[in-house]
């Protein structure tokens, strides 16, 4: 791995050389976590952050970036004057996902177990009953300073609970996602003063500048003091990060770590040498059969499979277990925080062959031990996420493989595109052979799952539509061109029982609208109308709708629909008096907003401007009154 440092400086070669005060407990933790003593990212980032330098770090996945900013945070706090001043935050770490924020928090907690005062503060000895003479007396709390982190992520706890915990814990390090961090930082109980605040770290900084996070991140940057140290860490520093560097950082150092290519000897690789990047091109209907054979032949105990959408995770999580014969743990952004954490822990602790099926929510920073294989069934929408996905395997020097599936047609050009971007992928060595009969057998197994209950058929429709919509947004657009999709092959690859009604099919595959089973090779004896919902109430509503259509009537809205249908049904059920009260409440709120808006407007005016504005309002009111009077006089009533 070769570092590039701007400006050039002599670099330390080991942890001991970073700073004379580097404690032995930090070294012990680094060794226990299998971090290399000569990892360039750690060897350079730590002294720069310790030496009051703003820093941008771009390094391969699994190279120890997390420890390279946690160690300076700890060391600087231990040296600070009064680091445990009540309500004062010293350092903040921002991460794009709940899982990554939790992982950073857990690593810091593990680090602090080697620091006796902080460990005692975070895990105090429980009080003993004074009447119990045999109970051992608790040790006294060792004197500080203490490092006290707090995790702030939405969904795990409510905002008032986090603020109450802040007041009770008095943390000096906050780790969390942008939205919850912003909500807590805006509380009056949190103090960010120029002379006390020290470090702001943005992990996966380029992801934090996506449109979903950028508004919250900008507000956080406005709240934290300008006199601070800032560190940006990512495996891919984009142009957006460079923009942030110019806006929020002062003469930052940039560390760019590359891996020496075994073939050319040049420092051009963006992934660890222990990670092998492969691709395989096939018909869409053969992807799942090939995946099954790859898992069997390579005896991959733990694998991560990436798909493009949340609906896709929901669908494949029901289909893949019976086909692949392995445990499948789904995880995506729509899952509640406790479900995401539970499935991630179950996957980590699983001692049999298992797959973590997920979206890009777990593409960055997550460190799961012993990931043998990463599979990309769908290409990420943003090319920069390709490296992050693959980097979940082959971490910390361990061997790993990442396989990307591409469909025959224009998608093969993605390999050339990656090579131009500096990422070289090789053909999958000794790819398994899959015959058309074997592929057809897998398709029949998928359809057998869908035919068990109509809910699964609905999932397949929703997942397929979401996949097509995601495909239109996948870059580069000339490679992933929806006009070149082999629709019949893709439909069979998903095990569809019928084509959904969607604009993309209507435009690029009009035969599917004339015949909803065109090209799917569905058995003629199968009738989709005989497929029933397992939910009896939902099935009765469906049958009532079928009967209404047969009579030429408009079907009633199903009782368990959500969204606009549910809202319409609620409005229809509300009494007229309730609707009237709701309308009056809305008008009252609107009037209050107008009053506040006028008050704010007048508050910024001089006395002369206020007089002119009042005259203008009086004139407008008179004109409106005359207009209304003229309309009343001209109206002569309805004719016969």
On whether the 2-80+87-124+142-260 domain is CATH 3.30.1490.20, my answer is: no
553 confidence band (pLDDT: 50, 70, 90): confident
Cis peptide before 229 (omega within 30 of 0): no
Q: What is the DSSP string of 298-323?
A: HT-SEEEEE-S-HHHHHHHHHHHHHH
Token pair of 632 as six digits: 């009343």
d(CA 1, CA 271): 10
* Contact predicate 91/224, CB 8 Å: no
SS3 280: strand
* Contact predicate 378/111, CB 8 Å: no
Q: Are strands 275-282 and 302-306 parallel, antiparallel or unpaired?
A: unpaired
In which element (H, E) is residue 620 found? helix 607-634
SS3 242: helix
Fold adopted by 271-531 = Rossmann fold (3.40.50)
Token pair of 607 as six digits: 């006395």
- Among the residue ranges 9-18, 49-58, 91-100, 132-141, the one predicted with the least confidence is 9-18
The mean per-residue pLDDT over the stretch 116-127 comes to 77
d(CA 213, CA 217): 6
Q: Which of 404, 461, 190 is nearest to 277 (CA)?
A: 404
Q: Which of 222, 208, 210 is nearest to 176 (CA)?
A: 208
Same fold, 2-80+87-124+142-260 and 271-531: yes
In the chain, domain spans: 2-80+87-124+142-260, 271-531, 540-573
The mean per-residue pLDDT over the stretch 251-259 comes to 77
pLDDT in tens, 404-448: 999 998 899 999 999 888 888 999 999 999 999 999 999 999 999
639 confidence band (pLDDT: 50, 70, 90): very low
d(CA 200, CA 230): 5
Q: Which of 480, 470, 472, 458 is nearest to 310 (CA)?
A: 470
pLDDT in tens, 42-64: 555 666 665 677 888 888 777 77
Distinct helix (H) and strand (E) counts, the chain: 24, 16
pLDDT in tens, 361-400: 888 878 887 899 999 999 999 888 898 899 888 876 788 8
Comparing 470 with 622, the larger pLDDT belongs to 470
């Amino acid at each position: 791995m070769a570092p590039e440092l701007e400006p050039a400086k002599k670099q330390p070669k080991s942890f001991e050389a970073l700073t004379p005060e580097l404690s032995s407990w930090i070294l012990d933790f680094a060794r226990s976590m299998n971090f290399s003593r000569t990892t360039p990212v750690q060897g350079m980032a730590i002294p720069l952050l310790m030496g009051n330098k703003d820093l941008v770090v771009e390094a391969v996945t699994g190279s120890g970036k997390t420890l390279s900013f946690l160690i300076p945070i700890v060391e600087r706090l231990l040296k600070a004057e009064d680091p445990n001043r009540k309500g004062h935050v010293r350092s903040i770490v921002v991460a794009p996902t709940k899982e990554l924020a939790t992982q950073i928090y857990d690593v810091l907690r593990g680090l602090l177990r080697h620091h006796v005062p902080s460990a005692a503060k975070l895990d105090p000895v429980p009080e003993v009953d004074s009447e119990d003479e045999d109970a051992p007396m608790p040790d006294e709390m060792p004197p500080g300073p203490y490092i006290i982190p707090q995790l702030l992520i939405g969904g795990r706890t409510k905002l008032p609970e986090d603020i109450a915990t802040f007041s009770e814990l008095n943390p000096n390090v906050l780790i969390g996602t942008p939205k919850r961090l912003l909500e807590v930082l805006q509380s009056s109980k949190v103090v960010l003063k120029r002379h006390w605040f020290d470090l702001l770290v943005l992990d996966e900084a380029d992801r934090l500048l996506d449109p979903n996070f950028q508004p919250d991140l900008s507000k956080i940057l406005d709240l934290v003091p300008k006199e601070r140290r800032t560190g940006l860490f990512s495996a891919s520093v984009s142009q957006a990060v460079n923009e942030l560097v110019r806006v929020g950082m002062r003469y930052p150092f940039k560390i760019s770590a590359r891996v020496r290519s075994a073939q050319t000897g040049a420092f051009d690789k963006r992934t660890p040498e222990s990670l092998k990047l492969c691709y395989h091109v096939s018909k869409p209907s053969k992807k799942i059969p090939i995946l099954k054979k790859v898992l069997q032949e390579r005896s991959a105990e733990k694998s991560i499979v990436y798909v493009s959408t949340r609906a896709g995770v929901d669908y494949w999580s029901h289909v893949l277990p019976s086909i692949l014969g392995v445990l499948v743990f789904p995880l995506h952004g729509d899952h509640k925080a406790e479900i995401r954490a539970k499935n991630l822990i179950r996957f980590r602790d699983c001692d049999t062959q298992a797959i973590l099926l997920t979206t890009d929510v777990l593409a960055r920073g997550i460190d799961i031990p012993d990931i043998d294989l990463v599979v990309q069934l769908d290409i990420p929408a943003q090319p920069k996420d390709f490296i992050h996905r693959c980097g979940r395997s082959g971490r910390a020097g361990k061997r790993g493989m990442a396989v990307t599936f591409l469909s025959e047609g224009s998608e093969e050009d993605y390999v050339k595109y990656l090579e131009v971007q500096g990422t070289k992928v090789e053909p999958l060595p000794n790819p398994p052979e899959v015959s058309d009969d074997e592929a057809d057998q897998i398709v029949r197994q998928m359809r057998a799952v869908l035919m068990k209950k109509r809910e699964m058929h609905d999932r397949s429709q929703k997942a397929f539509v979401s996949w097509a919509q995601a495909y239109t947004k996948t870059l580069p657009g000339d490679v992933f061109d929806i006009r070149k999709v082999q629709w019949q092959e893709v439909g069979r690859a998903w095990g569809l029982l019928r084509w959904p009604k969607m604009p993309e099919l209507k435009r690029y595959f009009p035969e599917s609208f004339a015949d909803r089973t065109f090209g799917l090779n569905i058995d003629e004896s199968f009738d989709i109308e005989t497929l029933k919902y397992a939910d009896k109430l939902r099935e009765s509503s469906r049958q009532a709708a079928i009967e209404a259509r047969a009579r030429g009537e408009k079907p009633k809205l199903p009782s368990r629909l959500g969204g606009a249908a549910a809202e319409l049904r609620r409005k229809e059920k509300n009494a007229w008096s309730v609707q009237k009260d709701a309308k009056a409440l809305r008008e009252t709120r609107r009037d209050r907003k107008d009053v506040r808006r006028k008050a704010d407007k007048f508050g910024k005016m001089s006395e002369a401007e206020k007089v002119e504005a009042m005259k203008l309002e009086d004139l407008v009111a008179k004109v409106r009154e005359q207009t209304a009077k003229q309309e009343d006089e001209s109206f002569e009533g309805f004719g016969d």
